[in-house]
Amino acid sequence: MKCFRIDEGGYTGFDLLNADQRFQGASAVAIDNDEAVRLIKEHFPTLQASELKYRALSRRPANHARLLGLLRDIHAHFDCTTSIVDKRYLLTLFFVDYGVEPYYYEREFDLYADGRNYAAASLLYLTGPTLLGEAEFDELLLAFQLAVKEKSRS
């Protein structure tokens, strides 16, 4: 069985409207510990740390070629994937999933079939500020975000 190592960046907790970090990313690589150690030693032979921290490594221009070489090796020799999402869109998708889909479910319409929920969220994300007004759409998303955070089970 393959073991994937996963890491993320841009996580701001429940606050999907944080303007300072609009995007969140996650990457997964199918690699075992021995291979990871080998790659670290190969590309960063003088590094003492057992875990690579991109932010720290990328600050030094001397590491740029090493980082690119490491990425080339990973993409060429290991199963891997990366996903990046606009958190404002993600919140809009959650709004469709939790605020809109139940309406359609009660009427026996499958909003998840053929990705209709993604289509609805994309349409709302792109047209909501124009149809409702930018401030009003922002208020809607903020109110929904707070409602999800503060919901109770009663």
Residue 10 has a pLDDT of 87
Decide if pLDDT at 131 tops 80. yes
Q: pLDDT tens digit string along 18-35?
A: 989 999 999 999 999 899
Sequence-separated (6 or more) residues with CB below 8 Å from residue 121: 89, 92, 93, 95, 96
Assess contact for 117 and 96: CB atoms under 8 A.
yes
- Identify which has the larger pLDDT, 4 or 1: 4
φ, ψ of residue 133 to 5 degrees: the values are 100, 145
- Using CA atoms, how far apart are residues 80 and 104, in angstroms rounded to an integer? 36
Residue 54 has a pLDDT of 87
Q: pLDDT tens digit string along 107-122?
A: 999 999 999 999 999 9
Residue 125 CB coordination number (10 Å): 20
- Using CA atoms, how far apart are residues 139 and 126, in angstroms rounded to an integer? 16
Q: Please give the model's pTM, rounded to 2 decimal places.
A: 0.77
